[in-house]
Structure 1
């Protein structure tokens, strides 16, 4: 299922790019059309502009798993925020500095659902909330986020990344770039450590292990975003992450897969509010 979905996402991205490139072909002696610029949105005096939507996600059943599941997710992003006396973040053309909320969710890990984890303690669902900041130019962007995790695992997690940006048409935006994630020691311990009692309960299949904080993964992410009607968007994302450092060396990961893939497909709508 995961591979079929991944193929569909990749085909959609490549198909959109091929059609866009074909539209740019010009006959001899014709002047080439100007490169599409970031679309400028008329906020009509709005102070708060955000996107809200839903998506389907295919990702590993647990961190380090080589099996995948489908789950629902929420799309929430802040496009523009104007704070009187402080300033504004984001803008109609999507360029410059922006700041907004960052959320994530990691499902429960239960040994009863995964025979290969027999002997390990269960980890309840983990919720993450924090902040994300980015700076975008016409053809590139950099971003970072920091979140606090609570529930099954506790601690701090963060993401870093950069993207090259292509705009084949006024309604299609493509992004591709490297990513990295970090986590505190307490968070890493909850997912990757193996206590002496767990090692004994597993019959020695998992050696005792004490995970450390630091980089958790590095990888590559790609996305395609298509505005199929004003303020309505189709969003497709695909990523590959390789667990590194203390996560990679965990007996839990060594027994499964250090390569982790994720695919999402969703729909969202832009909303504008006049607050002040």
Structure 2
């Protein structure tokens, strides 16, 4: 299965279940693929450490073979392609967007530089210790954009509960950054502050997917992170930003056979 969701680490939208109007899509023999198209709108911190918010509006697409069960994934997963899937364990390449930081005069007086929006790429691994109920996931990604590189490691666990047409998920989050990533977002010269590699944030994520009709579904979600360690101690965060980082949004998806 392929998933595509261009959003910061983060952010966002669970996959839609596969149905047809009167007959299940999987019962249509002439069709081989199920395609889900969707869109998402969200509000969250403009960049790591920011106190002000920005709105995001992004597309989303996934596809799978007819008869293949719809795969759960969290709204804050990166977009990935599964190369190996044993049922309980899977891995493959993953990518995500990295937020930029520009036009902040106050931060520039403290020695913070502008950062362009960037792209991360790396690998993911996913394991279900309890099939259909408990999911664990790790993403290791390297920034590819000049001026906003560095590596990150994101760890997640989700408890998944399904009630008829509703899927609820809740779980903790942990994010780490290497020294280059931490310096990009949290270093300053006035006062002098040079963060080292380490834990960037801890938090929690929750999402609710509702099947509105055989083909349509919607997802609402919220993620809250707390910057800790060097990230939380940065003068850029303490004086001009916030240790609390929140992201909330809603998405709509439509599934059809192809």
What TM-score, normalized by structure 1, do the two folds share? Answer: 0.67
Q: 1:271 to 1:129 in 2, by over 3 A?
A: farther
Q: 1:48 to 1:146 in 2, by over 3 A?
A: farther
Partner of 1:107: 99
Q: 1:154 to 1:145 in 2, by over 3 A?
A: same
Matched, 1:130 2:122: yes
Deviations 1:168-211 (A, max 9, x none): 21x210001101112222111111112xxxx3xxxxxx311112
Q: 1:250 to 1:239 in 2, by over 3 A?
A: same
Contact 1:153 1:191 in 2 (8 A): no
Cα shift at 1:264: 1.9
Deviations 1:78-126 (A, max 9, x none): 6x58xxxxxxxxx52646334465333233212x3x3431323211112
Partner of 1:97: 89
Q: Tell me the distance in 1 between the aligned counterparts of 2:27 and 2:178.
A: 40
Q: Which has the higher helix share?
A: 1
Q: Tell me the distance in 2 between the aligned counterparts of 1:49 and 1:134.
A: 23
> Structure 2: any 5+ residue segments left out of the alignment?
1-18, 72-86
Match among 175, 181, 185 for residue 181 of structure 1: 175
Contact 2:25 2:257 in 1 (8 A): no
Match among 215, 219, 237 for residue 199 of structure 2: 215
Q: Tell me the distance in 2 between the aligned counterparts of 1:99 and 1:269.
A: 26
Contact 2:138 2:155 in 1 (8 A): yes
Secondary structure, aligned partner of 1:229: coil
Partner of 2:81: none
Partner of 1:117: 107
Q: Tell me the distance in 1 between the aligned counterparts of 2:183 and 2:156.
A: 24
Partner of 1:64: 49
1:142-157 matches, within 5 Å, as 142-151=136-145, 152-157=147-152
Q: 1:236 to 1:99 in 2, by over 3 A?
A: farther
Mean CA deviation greater in 146-155 or 69-78: 69-78
Matched, 1:229 2:213: yes
Match among 155, 158, 179 for residue 153 of structure 2: 158
Secondary structure, aligned partner of 1:247: helix
Query: Cα RMSD over matched residues?
Result: 3.0
Contact 1:128 1:147 in 2 (8 A): yes
Structure exhibiting the larger radius of gyration computed from Cα positions: 1
Contact 1:183 1:215 in 2 (8 A): yes
Cα shift at 1:68: 0.7
Q: 1:47 to 1:213 in 2, by over 3 A?
A: farther
Contact 1:41 1:93 in 2 (8 A): no
Contact 2:25 2:256 in 1 (8 A): no
Matched, 1:172 2:172: no
Secondary structure, aligned partner of 2:132: coil
